[in-house]
Amino acid sequence: MEADTQEAVAQPGADAPSTPEETIARLEADLVTARAEAAGNWDKFLRERADVENTKRRLERTYADQIRRQQKALLAKFLGVVDNLERALAYAEGGASDPERLVQGVRLTQALLRDTLQAEGVRAVPAEGQQFDPAVHEAIASEARSDVPEGQVVAELQRGYLFGDELLRAAMVRVAASQ
């Protein structure tokens, strides 16, 4: 039985049978090697984990910087609108005698603002004359009408806007109702 144990412990392909002391020494050496390899693998794991965390932080900083740059660019576009409104107010407060020039300046400012919004992907929600759509319209009143089909928007009280395919603000509308 002791011979069976020695054969089972002996390495395959070993030339000479080993004594129990040699087997213990070899197993202890294998254990030391395995522990060293495990420690190396643990260190490698910790380094990789730190690299992943550093990459994550770097990406977060990059995205935050990119968002900040985009916000600054967008806000800079609105400064022209603010400048025009300030000029219009200064003109009106300075005792301007030509109200048509003031109205023209406000219209130009409105056009500049609409162009800026459109360049950023904002567009108006079609409302008046359209069939009521609860996804983009908010009915705040109804009106008994016989000249238009029921459920048709008869008046836009506040314009709604889309950003791409997303609703920024629903259009506030008055809807035709049957009499």
> In order along the chain (179 residues), what is the average pLDDT of each group of 10 residues?
48 64 94 97 97 97 96 90 87 77 87 92 94 96 91 96 95 92
Bridge partners (DSSP) listed for residue 163:
122, 166
> Is residue 153 classed as helix, strand or coil in its secondary structure?
strand
Distance CA(146)–CA(141), nearest Å, equals 16
Contact 173, 156 (CB under 8 A): yes
Residue 163 amino acid letter? F
What are the structural domains of the chain? Answer: 1-120 (3.90.20), 121-179 (2.30.22.10)
User: Which pLDDT belongs to residue 17?
Assistant: 64
Bridge partners (DSSP) listed for residue 170:
none
Distance CA(129)–CA(148), nearest Å, equals 9
Q: Give backbone dihedrals phi and psi of 109, rounded to 5 degrees, phi first.
A: -65, -40
User: Which pLDDT belongs to residue 5?
Assistant: 47
Residue with token string 């020494």: 25
